[in-house]
A and B are shown apart, each in its own frame.
Chain A
Amino acid sequence: MPMLLRSSRARPAFTRSMEALEMAEHKPDSVVPRQRFRAIVIGASAGAVEALGAILPKLPAQFPIPVMVVVHIPAESRFSLVDLFQKRCQVKLLEAADKEPIQAGTVYFAPPDYHLLVEKDFHLSLSSEEQVMFSRPSIDVLFETASDAFGTGLCGVILSGANSDGAKGLQAIVQNGGVAVVQLPESARSSAMPEAALLVCPSALVLQLEQIGTFLAQCQVGEQA
């Protein structure tokens, strides 16, 4: 029986995460998503490569849900996450382009030095406006605009990172009826970002990397509203 780890009651992050960890250890199948989704957004910073490397390869080639990812990388970086991960992934990876229609089976990365935003008619847009929380791209910007576009059909995932970007965005997702997933802080290379997210989203599902991958891979698509 799928068991939902999500609870709307606020409990101290530590107890809840330990509990989530134990439950997950004993019932590896207990992380089956209940809700259907129209999109997934992921935010990661320090420790992103390791975290995404554990998750993205688990997504099947015909994954029915589009995924948008913001990773904090320096503006002048030539380093390409698409190149880094594509060999290991079945799902298609792209650097997001302005006005690109959002398609299933595709993971879109925010380009360095641009915010990635979701428009309500389901295409992507870029913006070079001011940094948010010292970051461009900003996780908050992606999460808030995606939440506005997808509402209850959105799943937001906060992974390892040494700042607090994404917390506000994840909160917006929860407020709009979407689902929040946070990497178990103790298991993250940098626990600050998951902790900041849990502080404002105590109801988030707290999982280890392996489980997040399994959870996402099992997500099913919900119909367009």
Chain B
Amino acid sequence: MQSKTDDIEIRLLLDALFHRYHYDFRGYAMASLKRRLVQAREHFQCESFSQLQDRVLHDPTVLPKMLSYLTVQVSEMFRDPSYFAAIREHVVPHLRTYPSLKVWVAGCSAGEELYSLIILFREEGLEERTIFYGTDINPEAYRKAEAGVYSLDRIALFTKNHQLSGGKSSLSDYYTAAYGAAVFDKSLRARAVFSDHSLVSDAVFAEMHLISCRNVLIYFERALQDRAVGLFKDSLVRRGFLGIGSKESLRFSAHANAFAEFSREARLYQKHGGPGNG
């Protein structure tokens, strides 16, 4: 059966990517990954995944484009405004009690989610005491995040989301429009660090007060989800906060017990405070 052969070839292609470039997609949810690999195969005009494997193994310039198929980059600022409203209303009061804060957006894509949080923290007067980390495995994505430039035609949606999230200012205060693009103010990233970090293979790198990782876990199989959530658990301070995507849950996670549901509707969790969880 062709479908079986495809699956074998995909396994081999993923092995090849891992051994040659240390990108490990082997534990990703296969249905969506396969669809995107089919699109990549069509883009590179390959007859089979084996041919695609040959291309990517021998031509490193093929890798970035492959990554753009393998990683889903869909995002928007203040996506699901109620999530940000819940952070503003319910998480910020807790965060105010700390003299210094660390926020990590894991799988930050082109930075939309990170900038949303930085703007929110500025509006709430917390920006000055916070360091923001934006990490991703796709270098093109976090480089875009670092640049903070978005197409102007996305701004209407961002503005609407910002308002719905309880924004205290006008989004236009934070960017200048030029040549069809919105360039977000440099000062917003004065306290932001962008870097390469994989939830599949990398370790904890700092102690966080808030971790936001939305619409990343859905691309992982269970074992990998468990690894990522374990990483979040280990890097959060006691009573630190974890936010996930609006259709994600820790229900099936091996680490579900380490967290309490903080806002069910907004998918915000709080790490338990007791000993053994620190």
A interface vs B, CB < 8 Å? 97-100, 111, 114-115, 117-120, 125-130, 141, 144-145, 148-149, 151, 176
Contact = CB atoms under 8 A, between A and B. Distances in A.
A125 B29 contact: yes
B218 interface: yes
B34 A126 contact: no
Given A98-B249, A120-B31, A148-B31, 16 more contacts: A97-B251, A98-B217, A117-B32, A118-B31, A125-B29, A125-B32, A125-B218, A126-B218, A127-B32, A127-B219, A128-B74, A128-B215, A129-B35, A141-B35, A148-B3, A176-B3
A145 B248 CA distance: 20
Nearest to A136: B74
B247 A115 contact: no
B36 interface: yes
Contacts of A118: 31
A127 B31 CA distance: 10
B125 to A, nearest CB: 30
In order of increasing CB-CB distance, the 4 nearest A-B pairs are A117-B31, A145-B31, A129-B72, A127-B32
Interface residues of B, number: 23
Contacts of A130: 72, 74
B114 to A, nearest CB: 17
A148 B2 CA distance: 10
A38 B74 CA distance: 33
A128 B72 contact: yes
Contact of A111 (B215, B225, B247, B251): B247
A74 to B, nearest CB: 14
Contacts of A100: 252
B222 interface: yes
Contacts of B3: 148, 151, 176
Interface in B216-235: 217-219, 221-222, 225
Contacts of A129: 32, 35-36, 72, 74
Contact of A97 (B35, B215, B247): B247
B222 A119 contact: no
B245 interface: yes
Contact of B248 (A98, A115, A119, A149): A98
15 contacts: A97-B247, A98-B218, A98-B248, A98-B249, A100-B252, A117-B31, A125-B29, A127-B32, A128-B74, A128-B218, A129-B35, A129-B36, A130-B74, A145-B34, A148-B31
B30 interface: yes
A148 B34 contact: yes
Pick the most buried of A97, A100, A119, A129: most chain B CB atoms within 10 A of its CB. Answer: A129
Contacts of A119: 29-31, 221
A149 B247 CA distance: 23
Contacts of A117: 29, 31-32, 35
Contacts of B219: 127
A99 B252 contact: yes
A40 B29 CA distance: 21
Nearest to B249: A97
A149 B219 CA distance: 17
Given A125-B29, A129-B72, A129-B74, A145 B247 contact: no
Contact of A99 (B32, B215, B225): B225
A125 B247 contact: no
B35 A144 contact: yes
B72 A120 contact: no
A127 B218 contact: yes
A144 B251 CA distance: 27
A151 B2 CA distance: 12
B30 A120 contact: yes
Q: Which of B35, B249, B252 has the most CB of A within 10 A?
A: B35
Contacts of B30: 119-120
Nearest to B215: A128
Nearest to A127: B32
B245 A128 contact: yes
A145 B249 contact: no
A155 B31 CA distance: 19
A222 to B, nearest CB: 17
A129 B109 CA distance: 12
B224 to A, nearest CB: 11
Contacts of A149: 31
A224 to B, nearest CB: 17
